[in-house]
Amino acid sequence: MKNRIRVFRTAALTLAATLTLGTAQAQETFRIGYIYPSPAADVGWAHELDEGRRAVEEHFGDQVESVIVENIPDGPDAARIMNQLAAQGVDMMMLGSFGYMNDGLKTAKRYPDIDFIHASGYKTLDNLGNFLTRNHESSYVAGMAAGYVSKSNVIGMVASYAIPEVIGIINAFTLGAQETNPDISIKIVWLNSWFDPSKAQESARSLIAQQSDVIFSIYQDTPSVVTVAEEEGVYVVNTSSDMKPYAPTYLLASMKVSWGDYFIEQVQASMDDSFKGESFWGGMADNAVSVESISDDLSTEQRATLDARIAAITAGEFHPFSGPVIDQSGQEIVAEGDTLSDADLLGISWLVQGIETRLPQ
Q: List pLDDT tens digits, range 311-336.
A: 999 999 999 999 999 999 999 999 99
Give the model's confidence band at 24: pLDDT under 50 very low, under 70 low, under 90 confident, else very high: very low
Output the pLDDT for position 348. 95
Q: Read off the pLDDT of residues 102-117 as tens digits, 9 standing for 90 and up.
A: 999 999 999 999 999 9
Output the pLDDT for position 17. 35
What is the pLDDT averaged over residues 331-357?
95
Superfamily of chain region 135-256+290-346 = Response regulator (3.40.50.2300)
Per-residue burial over 89-118, b = 16 or more CB atoms within 10 Å of its CB, e = otherwise: ebbbbbbbbbbbbebbbebbeebeebbbbb
Q: Read off the pLDDT of residues 151-165 as tens digits, 9 standing for 90 and up.
A: 999 999 999 999 999
CA gap 295, 254 in Å, rounded: 10
- 3-133 and 135-256+290-346: identical CATH topology: yes
Domain ranges of the chain: 3-133, 135-256+290-346
**For the whole model, what pTM was predicted?**
0.86
What is the pLDDT averaged over residues 195-199?
90
Tell me whether the omega of the peptide bond preceding residue 320 falls within 30 degrees of 0, making it cis: no
Q: What residues does 282 pair with on adjacent strands?
A: 133
What is the pLDDT averaged over residues 36-53?
91
Assign 178 to helix, strand or coil: helix
Domain 3-133, CATH class in plain words: alpha beta
Q: Say if residues 274 and 316 touch (Cβ distance below 8 Å).
A: no
User: Average pLDDT of the chain?
Assistant: 91
